């Protein structure tokens, strides 16, 4: 069964196309789709604000095993924030509310307990790169272009946003991204570790669906424990949560899925994991 829920902005852009973020549940895959095609899926403040509720809904749905982020149309994943709102939403006293909306969205993506994949094609710039970085895995089409534009716009990025890029590609490459504000092609992104895989554009979705099906067939509690452990490793030592990670590991050992995994192995059959 496929279900669709949407969170729309409060108005239309100047071409009459409504900007929205919507979720689709298709079997074991929950899709979050960024749809503002008149502006290459650039994010309005209301689009940012819509993301946490959609993430929470998919995370709470036991039928959803993998969450995929994608842009609508053929041109872009997300080409950053909607610059037309900068004067009204990102300047002076209003800037804090905008940054809170962005952080709320990326934090919500990172907090999803299930595997989260960014399916990147076309432009993945600025806020779009922040969204992709919040995912666990990035599969890219060969037309993908990645970049950070603050040096073109005079914007300062928050330290935690820059830190996520440093964790992934290192300080030197992060500085090159920011200092030049140039776009990096898909093969460059693969080489520096920003993209996990690069596929021809017409093969990307089929590959991603196959990978998502593989992940959906694995033990959810094991995936959750691993996700918590990776996140904890990336925290400053003073902020780490070893008790939370240990509890997740113990939950695996006492789960029905562990008993099912052992039985399936002994019986030489595929395991049927339930997440319990």
When pLDDT is averaged across residues 63-80 and rounded to a whole number, the result is 97
- In angstroms, the CA 142 to CA 251 distance is 40
Instruction: Tell me the CATH number for domain 2-216.
Output: 3.90.226.10
Q: Is the pLDDT of residue 141 over 90?
A: yes
Q: What is the pLDDT of residue 10?
A: 42
Q: Are 165 and 172 in contact (CB under 8 A)?
A: no
Digit-coded pLDDT (tens) for 235-271: 889 999 999 999 999 999 999 999 999 999 999 999 9
Q: How confident is the model at residue 155 (pLDDT cuts 50, 70, 90)?
A: confident
Q: What is the pLDDT of residue 269?
A: 95
Q: What are the extents of the domains in the chain?
A: 2-216, 220-267
pTM of the model: 0.90
Half-sphere exposure of 138 (CA within 13 A, CB side): 28
- In angstroms, the CA 194 to CA 140 distance is 10
Q: How confident is the model at residue 123 (pLDDT cuts 50, 70, 90)?
A: very high
E strands, the chain, are 2-12, 18-26, 29-35, 66-71, 76-78, 116-120, 123-125, 137-141, 145-147, 184-185, 197-199
Half-sphere exposure of 100 (CA within 13 A, CB side): 6
Beta strand pairing call for 137-141 and 197-199: parallel
């Amino acid at each position: 069964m496929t279900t669709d829920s949407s969170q729309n902005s409060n108005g239309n852009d100047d071409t009459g196309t409504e900007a929205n973020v919507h979720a689709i549940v298709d079997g074991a895959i929950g899709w979050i789709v960024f749809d503002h095609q008149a502006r290459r899926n650039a994010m309005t403040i209301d689009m940012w604000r819509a993301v946490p509720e959609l993430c929470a809904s998919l995370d709470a749905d036991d039928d959803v095993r993998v969450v995929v982020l994608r842009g609508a149309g053929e041109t872009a994943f997300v080409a950053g924030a909607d610059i037309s709102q900068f004067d009204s939403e990102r300047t002076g006293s209003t800037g804090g509310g905008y940054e809170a909306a962005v952080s709320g969205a990326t934090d919500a993506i990172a907090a999803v307990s299930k595997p989260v994949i960014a399916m990147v094609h076309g432009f993945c710039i600025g806020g779009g790169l922040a969204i992709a970085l919040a995912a666990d895995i990035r599969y890219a089409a060969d037309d993908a272009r990645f970049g950070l534009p603050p040096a073109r716009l005079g914007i300062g990025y928050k330290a935690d946003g820059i830190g996520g890029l440093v964790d992934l590609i290192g300080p030197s490459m992060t500085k090159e991204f920011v200092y030049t504000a140039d776009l990096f092609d898909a093969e460059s992104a693969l080489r520096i570790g920003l993209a996990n895989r690069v596929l021809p554009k017409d093969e990307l979705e089929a590959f991603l669906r196959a990978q998502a099906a593989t992940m959906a067939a694995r033990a959810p509690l094991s995936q959750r424990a691993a996700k918590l452990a990776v996140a904890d490793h990336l925290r400053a030592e003073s902020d780490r949560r070893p008790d939370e990670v240990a509890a997740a590991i113990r939950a695996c050992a006492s789960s029905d899925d562990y008993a099912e995994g052992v039985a399936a192995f002994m019986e030489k059959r595929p395991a049927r994991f339930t997440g319990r």
